[in-house]
Amino acid sequence: MIIKEVEFVMSNSDVRKCPKPDRPEYAFIGRSNVGKSSLINMLMDKKSLAKTSSTPGKTQLINHFLVNKTWYLVDLPGYGYAKVPKAQKVKFERMISDYILLRENLVTVFILVDIRHSPQQIDLEFMEWLGLSSIPFTMVFTKLDKLKRGEIEPNLKKYRNKMLEKWDELPIQVITSAEKTDGREPLLEYIEKLNTDFATKFQK
Ligand code: GTP
Ligand code: MG
Closest residue (by CA) to atom 26 of ligand 1?
Answer: 143
Question: Is the shortest distance between the CB of 76 and ligand 1 below 6 Å?
Answer: no
Is there a contact between 58 and 92 (Cβ–Cβ < 8 Å)?
no
- At 121 the pLDDT is 95
pTM recorded for the entire structure: 0.95
pLDDT tens digits along 2-52:
999 999 999 999 999 999 999 999 999 999 899 999 999 999 999 999 888
Q: Which residue has the higher pLDDT, 60 or 69?
A: 69
User: Cα–Cα–Cα angle for 145, 147, 148, nearest 5°?
Assistant: 110
Domains of the chain, earliest start first:
6-203 (3.40.50.300)
Question: Is the shortest distance between the CB of 64 and ligand 1 below 6 Å?
Answer: no
Question: Is the shortest distance between the CB of 80 and ligand 1 below 6 Å?
Answer: no
Using pLDDT thresholds of 50, 70 and 90, give the confidence band for residue 203. low
Other beta carbons within 10 Å of 10: 13
pLDDT surpasses 90 at 200: no
pLDDT tens digits along 85-127:
888 888 888 999 999 999 999 999 999 999 999 999 999 999 9
